[in-house]
């Protein structure tokens, strides 16, 4: 049987991977000491200004990406839980149908 298939465990695993990726990005963010070392008088004022601009930009981009990954992880987790809920509902309805249903042959209709 072909078609669309959802694996809640895979969805949940993907949400954990996104959360782990956000954590790794936190560990690999721009080191503040590196930007501090590029300040005047250790470097030319133009270099210091550009390093400061870049570090502010990099920090802003890092925060946005971590927030996005966190939001995606939460949505994936909720989607996986919803799939399980829907599957359970369908299973319960099918079991009720099979338990309470009665077969009527075409001749008896």
For residues 35 and 51, the answer to whether their CB atoms sit within 8 Å is: yes
Query: CB within 8 A of 53, min separation 6: which ones?
Result: none
pLDDT on residue 14: 87
- Please check whether residue 107 lies inside any domain of the structure: no
Q: Quote the number of domains for the chain.
A: 1
pLDDT on residue 1: 53
- Please check whether residue 55 lies inside any domain of the structure: yes
* pTM for this predicted structure: 0.66
Looking at the chain, how many residues does it have? 109
What's the whole-number average pLDDT of the chain? 86
For residues 69 and 21, the answer to whether their CB atoms sit within 8 Å is: yes
pLDDT on residue 11: 83
The domain of 43 spans 31-89
- Please check whether residue 75 lies inside any domain of the structure: yes
Which residues, given as ranges, of the chain have pLDDT below 70?
Answer: 1-3, 32
Torsion of Cα atoms, 28 then 33 then 37 then 41, to 10°: 140
pLDDT on residue 2: 65
- Please check whether residue 80 lies inside any domain of the structure: yes
- Please check whether residue 64 lies inside any domain of the structure: yes
- Please check whether residue 94 lies inside any domain of the structure: no
């Amino acid at each position: 049987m072909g078609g669309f298939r959802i694996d809640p465990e895979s969805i949940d695993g993907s949400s954990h991977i996104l959360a782990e990726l956000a954590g790794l990005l936190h560990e690999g963010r721009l080191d503040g000491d590196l930007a501090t070392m590029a300040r005047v008088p250790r470097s030319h004022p133009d270099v210091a200004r550009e390093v400061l601009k870049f570090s502010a930009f990099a920090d802003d981009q890092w925060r946005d990406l971590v927030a996005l990954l966190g939001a995606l992880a939460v949505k994936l987790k909720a989607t996986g839980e919803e799939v399980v809920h829907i599957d359970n509902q369908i299973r319960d309805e099918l079991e009720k149908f099979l338990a309470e249903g009665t077969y009527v042959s075409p001749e008896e209709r």
